[in-house]
């Protein structure tokens, strides 16, 4: 007899899962500890990314940089390419893979959300959510205060204007602005 999959296994498989789970709580605690270290170390001791935070990521190029006041849910689902720059106040809720391509830049207070809560209010009361991956291509510029919603893919060389809310995929090389973000 096989046992039911854990909430982590469901989350990793892209299935509906309960976000209130001891194993997931422990993973979030590790991420919070790594973020805390990143925030408190002096710039000379921290370098571009504090050691605990760098070790937490799925992959991270040596020359990627994250300014302080950064937050992530788990960290283990984040990949950062070469030359990635993440400015102050960025939040990444990485309940699914978040891939940020080489030389992409995120302005201050950019928010990337993978978690989508259930639309059925009864199931939402059970804390059910699903993680949808977010992919940011190479050489993308995301302006300050932009919000990237679950499941979005932003193509290489695209620009997302400051304060935009990106609700659907962005083609390579285009500029989108507004709420919801539209091509200009």
Computed on alpha carbons and rounded to an integer, the radius of gyration of the chain in Å comes to: 16
From the candidates 32, 38, 103, 117, give the one annotated as an active-site residue.
Answer: 117
Active-site residue flag, 117: yes
Cα–Cα distance for residue pair 70/113, rounded to 1 Å: 14
Residue with tokens 């720059």: 85
The secondary structure of the chain, three-state, reads CCCCCCHHHHHHCCCCEECCCHHHHHHHHHHHHHHHHHHHCCHHHHCCCCHHHHHHCCEECCCCEECCCCEECCCCCEEECCCCEECCCCEEECCCCEEECCCCEECCCCEEECEEECCCHHHHCCCEEEECCEEECCCCEECCCCEECCCCEECCCCEECCCCEECCCECCCCEEECCCCEEC
Please give the positions annotated as active site. 117
């Amino acid at each position: 007899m096989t046992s039911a999959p854990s909430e982590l296994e469901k989350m990793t498989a892209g299935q509906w899962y309960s976000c209130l789970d001891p194993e997931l709580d422990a993973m979030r605690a590790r991420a919070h500890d790594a973020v805390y270290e990143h925030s408190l170390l002096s710039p000379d001791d921290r370098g571009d990314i504090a050691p605990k935070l760098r070790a937490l990521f799925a992959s991270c190029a040596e020359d990627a940089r994250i300014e302080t006041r950064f937050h992530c849910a788990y960290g283990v689902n984040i990949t950062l390419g070469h030359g990635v720059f993440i400015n102050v106040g960025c939040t990444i809720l990485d309940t699914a893979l978040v891939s940020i391509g080489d030389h992409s830049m995120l302005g201050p207070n950019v928010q990337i959300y993978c978690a989508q809560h259930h639309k059925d209010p009864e199931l939402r009361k059970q804390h059910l959510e699903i993680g949808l991956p977010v992919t940011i291509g190479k050489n993308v510029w995301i302006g300050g205060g932009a919000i990237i919603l679950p499941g979005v893919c932003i193509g290489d060389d695209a620009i997302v204007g400051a304060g935009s809310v990106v609700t659907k995929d962005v083609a390579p090389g285009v500029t989108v602005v507004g709420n919801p973000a539209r091509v200009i």
